[in-house]
Structure 1
Amino acid sequence: MTASKLLVVIGITGNQGSSVASAFLKLPDWRIRGISRDISSAAAQQWISKGVELVKADLDDIDSLESAFRGASAIFAVTDFYSLMLDPANYAAAQQAAVTPNEYACNLETKRGMKIATAANSPAVSATLTHFVFSSLSDTKHWSHGKYTWNYHFDGKAAVVKRIKKELPGLAEKLSIIQVGMYASNWKGGMGRPQKQKDRAFVVQIPDIGEVQLPWIYVDRDVGIFVEALLATSPGKQILGVSQMASWREFWTLWAETRGVRLEIQVVSVEEFFQSLPEVLRREFQESLRYIVEFGYTGGDPDVCCNLQDILPGAKTATLKEYVESEDWSILD
């Protein structure tokens, strides 16, 4: 039987997009079209070998996006702040514009998000589109009442949501939002990575934020489950994408118990925890963490559903133990 619905996935070769594609490959009534700037890449070809249609499109080119979206029943859209901020060309452009790389990348991310939204709102795409799922984060400046202003990787995405609701009312009626939690794999970036000692025990640093419960997500596996839930119901929903809530201490204690290793946990200040990062990232991450601790990951937004079961009864996410058991930890040895 031919699948009756088409899901277009932006970022199919990335963490979130690949999770969505993997989840929907298992659903017989959906077919998948992925978007890539380079459909000849190894990652793109891997999806083609699985039966996914790959089309070439540029997130800065509305016409190419509109062409890629034609015939879609649903679109999953994600933008990437860090690839924009760490692009040397954008760093130089930020200096020339006399703004921080963070602010420059935030503005670019919002513009890119709006180009995606504009293409999705075009008459040719709107004719078949029922759901537009956008991967966003909470509006830091709004929910902190202006206290935190340097959480740009949250606020650029939140700005897209606000503009869609204000400028594109037709698309706003089809909008659903996933706020993806903290990647359980963030340790790979170096922050708080366990360090092996001569006696084969490990030492790991965690920030001094008490036992605050944080929304960890096994991103490669679970984002698709949340998108499936959003597409199984009417538009207009917001959901927090979380595999399991846990404090930083609980996360690494579980890691040590699961792997059967000895671990010493060192509690350091938030400033020290991020000290090894470049200054622009240091302040970004410090403010982000302080915002999460004080106001919550979603900022306390009452419209965000924090229980997957409320939207898709019977759906099951991974546990952190399952994440630890499936991850490749050889880099630490």
Structure 2
Amino acid sequence: MPELIAVIGATGFQGGSVVRALSASPDKYTIRGISRNVESARVKELQELYPNVEWVAADLDDPATLEKAFAGADIVFGNTNYFQPSIRERIDAGDYDAEFTQGKNMVDAAVAQGVKHFVYSPIVSATEVSNGKYTNAYDTEGKAKLRHYIEAAPIDGYFVYCGFYFQNSLRAARWEGEKVIFEYPLPVDVKQPYVDIDDDYGNIVELMLSDRAKYKEKRLAAVEGYYTGPEIAEAFTRATGIEAEYRCVQEYYYSIPDIKSLFEFFIEFDALSGVDMTEAKDSVKKPFTNVDQFWTKHKDFRP
């Protein structure tokens, strides 16, 4: 009998990739997509693509709705978004545990419903990796704290650490005359890990669920390779023939103290320090998408 997996954030990048990957195995998984608004245009679009997915509304700030959404589930894929407006409002008001609280609500609801397996994407703690140099990169701290909470809970945890999304480049582009400019707050010589979140992330979740004894409590990386900003821009030019340039632009990001600390941490340290970088890439059924393949897939993209 197929297992039921409840996917938090099924309309987003991570959750959407999980839905895409697991929907190809209806003999193994029944999927319940969880969203705050199941009447949204995005949900309706996904209903057309995946007609067998059940949709249930839930709010990460409302534990009762989460318990209802997790009823009968064998697996929960949990997702928290530090940049969600409601989280940012609470962070700005001094509630630095806002993201962790939402994650804790998910875990507690899953445990209350007898869910056996919980999959989550943490981030390494900037405080730990930097030996206390960067202590207010709260996006990393809430997710790292939640990983520890999952490990201590009576539920089996599985952890996928994401690199930067290649898809971020689509939102970081603008025209300047006949040239496309990519802008991001990382200096031109800084390499960080990247992944095609749409096509590759869900396959890693599928891998972990296929051998739970092996991957329980493991920390796998969703990463194809390490790239600088200019390398991503050069790949865009190779795919499209359009001149492109990468520029490090930090003014906006550095005007927000916690985001400034986050990117200062990324400039100085590997975003995935201490995470197994090879297991997932070497073991998934479908090879990861590299930067040239990503831009070939998006060769019709224009800012």
Q: TM-score, normalised by structure 1?
A: 0.80
Alignment of 1:134-153 (within 5 A): 134-153=120-139
Q: Could you say which residue in structure 1 is the equivalent of 2:217?
A: 236
Q: Residue 143 and residue 162 in structure 1: after superposition, are their counterparts in 2 closer, same or farther (change >3 A)?
A: same
CA distance in 2 between partners of 1:102 and 1:139 (Å): 22
Q: Could you say which residue in structure 1 is the equivalent of 2:175?
A: 195
Q: Could you say which residue in structure 1 is the equivalent of 2:264?
A: 290
Letter paired with 1:25: S
Kept in 2, the 8 Å contact 1:232–1:312? The answer is: no
Q: Residue 189 and residue 70 in structure 1: after superposition, are their counterparts in 2 closer, same or farther (change >3 A)?
A: same
In the TM superposition, residue 265 of structure 1 has moved relative to its aligned partner by 4.6
Kept in 1, the 8 Å contact 2:240–2:299? The answer is: no
Alignment of 1:232-271 (within 5 A): 232-234=210-212, 235-266=216-247, 268=248
Match status 1:178 vs 2:160: yes
Q: Could you say which residue in structure 1 is the equivalent of 2:12?
A: 14
In the TM superposition, residue 311 of structure 1 has moved relative to its aligned partner by 7.0
Where in structure 2 are there 5+ consecutive unaligned residues? none
SS at match of 1:31: strand
Kept in 1, the 8 Å contact 2:100–2:145? The answer is: yes
Kept in 2, the 8 Å contact 1:85–1:101? The answer is: no
Q: Residue 208 and residue 69 in structure 1: after superposition, are their counterparts in 2 closer, same or farther (change >3 A)?
A: closer
Q: Could you say which residue in structure 2 is the equivalent of 1:125?
A: 114
Kept in 1, the 8 Å contact 2:281–2:287? The answer is: no
Q: Could you say which residue in structure 1 is the equivalent of 2:67?
A: 66
1:226 to 179, 191, 204: 204
Letter paired with 1:9: V
- Per-residue CA deviations over 1:69-113 (Å, capped at 9, x if unaligned) read 1222211100011114676xx3xxx5xxxxx61853x42111000
Alignment of 1:154-165 (within 5 A): 154-165=140-151
In the TM superposition, residue 34 of structure 1 has moved relative to its aligned partner by 0.7
Kept in 2, the 8 Å contact 1:230–1:311? The answer is: no
Letter paired with 1:214: Q
2:92 to 101, 123, 142: 101
Q: Could you say which residue in structure 2 is the equivalent of 1:52?
A: 53
Letter paired with 2:139: H
CA distance in 1 between partners of 2:180 and 2:258 (Å): 28
The answer to which of 137-146 and 38-47 deviates more is 38-47
CA distance in 1 between partners of 2:183 and 2:62 (Å): 43
Q: Residue 314 and residue 12 in structure 1: after superposition, are their counterparts in 2 closer, same or farther (change >3 A)?
A: closer
Larger Rg: 1
In the TM superposition, residue 187 of structure 1 has moved relative to its aligned partner by 3.2
SS at match of 2:167: helix
Letter paired with 1:289: F
CA distance in 2 between partners of 1:183 and 1:306 (Å): 16
Kept in 1, the 8 Å contact 2:253–2:260? The answer is: no
SS at match of 1:82: coil
CA distance in 1 between partners of 2:170 and 2:230 (Å): 17
The count of aligned residue pairs is 297
SS at match of 1:136: coil
Kept in 2, the 8 Å contact 1:141–1:155? The answer is: yes
Letter paired with 1:36: S
In the TM superposition, residue 253 of structure 1 has moved relative to its aligned partner by 1.1
CA distance in 2 between partners of 1:74 and 1:55 (Å): 15
CA distance in 1 between partners of 2:134 and 2:237 (Å): 34
Q: TM-score, normalised by structure 2?
A: 0.87
Q: Percent identity?
A: 25
Q: Could you say which residue in structure 2 is the equivalent of 1:83?
A: 84
In the TM superposition, residue 308 of structure 1 has moved relative to its aligned partner by 3.9
CA distance in 2 between partners of 1:102 and 1:259 (Å): 44
The answer to which of 178-187 and 75-84 deviates more is 178-187
In the TM superposition, residue 138 of structure 1 has moved relative to its aligned partner by 0.7
SS at match of 2:39: coil
Kept in 2, the 8 Å contact 1:84–1:109? The answer is: no
The answer to which of 214-223 and 15-24 deviates more is 214-223
Match status 1:216 vs 2:194: yes
In the TM superposition, residue 293 of structure 1 has moved relative to its aligned partner by 3.4
Q: Could you say which residue in structure 2 is the equivalent of 1:97?
A: none
